Amino acid sequence: MSDTLRVLWTLVPQRAPQPWLHCSRCGDPKPFESSNKFRLNANGKRLDAWLIYHCTACGQTWNRPFLERRPAAAVDPQLLAALQQNDPRLARHLAFDIEDLRRRTVRIAACGGAKVQKVTLQVPARPTARLEIGFALAIPVSLRLDRLLAAELGLSRKHLHRMQDEGKLVISPTGARRLKKPPQDGWQLALDLSQERDCDAIAAAAR
Ligand SMILES: [Zn+2]
């Protein structure tokens, strides 16, 4: 029987990604923040809609295209009402649509804090001796892995680094200074808990 607890941690950023764009007022590239407000323009039978962003340094506006020259008759009345009312759910949905954002800018500021959604994939039959954590991220976060693990597992960062030095904490794919970097989608972490006194508490915190 396996003594491994396997979990999947999905990191959901609290703040929408911020595109870096050239700001004409600052004269430099700056991160822009969604205002969660839409701008609508009806031109004859065509409709344009944008999500309004502001430069975080000076407030300059960037209109992120949402509907472009769309025949007004083809726009769902519910969608039109949502745009007119600055529906917060629609604004949030678009602000978090990073695939669309990537088509408009090459640089996107990673998000700070993230909520961790934990799903258990395999429960050990015996007391947990090994913990495997998979990471899933649709949107990059700027949160160091050691800080995240310390907060979620109740271990000190010093302890985590010592475990890594002793080969009891392995991150794949391998790379330099992984613990000090933000976790990426698809990363796997394996922890040998067999020598840990708080083994049960760590395993409980992981799921
Ligand atoms: Zn600016």
pLDDT in tens, 13-64: 888 889 999 999 999 999 999 999 999 998 889 999 999 999 999 999 999 9
Domain that holds residue 162: 4-14+111-206
Domain end marker among 65, 81, 109: 109
Q: 67 CA to middle of ligand 1, Å? A: 25
Q: 47 CA to middle of ligand 1, Å? A: 28
CA distances from 93 to 1, 10, 144 (A): 43, 18, 26
Q: Are 115 and 80 members of one domain?
A: no
Domain end marker among 109, 144, 177: 109
Q: Are 46 and 124 members of one domain?
A: no
The length of the chain is 207
Domain end marker among 55, 79, 109: 109
Q: Are 71 and 118 members of one domain?
A: no
pLDDT in tens, 82-134: 999 999 999 998 998 888 998 999 899 877 678 999 999 999 987 899 999 99
Q: 62 CA to middle of ligand 1, Å? A: 10
Q: 109 CA to middle of ligand 1, Å? A: 15
State the number of CA atoms in the 13 A half-sphere of 13 facing the CB: 24
d(CA 93, CA 74): 21
Q: Are 70 and 123 members of one domain?
A: no
Q: Are 132 and 72 members of one domain?
A: no
pTM of the model: 0.72
Q: 12 CA to middle of ligand 1, Å? A: 28
Residues with Cβ within 5 Å of ion ligand 1? 23, 25-26, 30, 55, 57-58, 60
pLDDT in tens, 129-172: 999 999 999 877 878 999 999 999 999 999 999 999 999 999 99
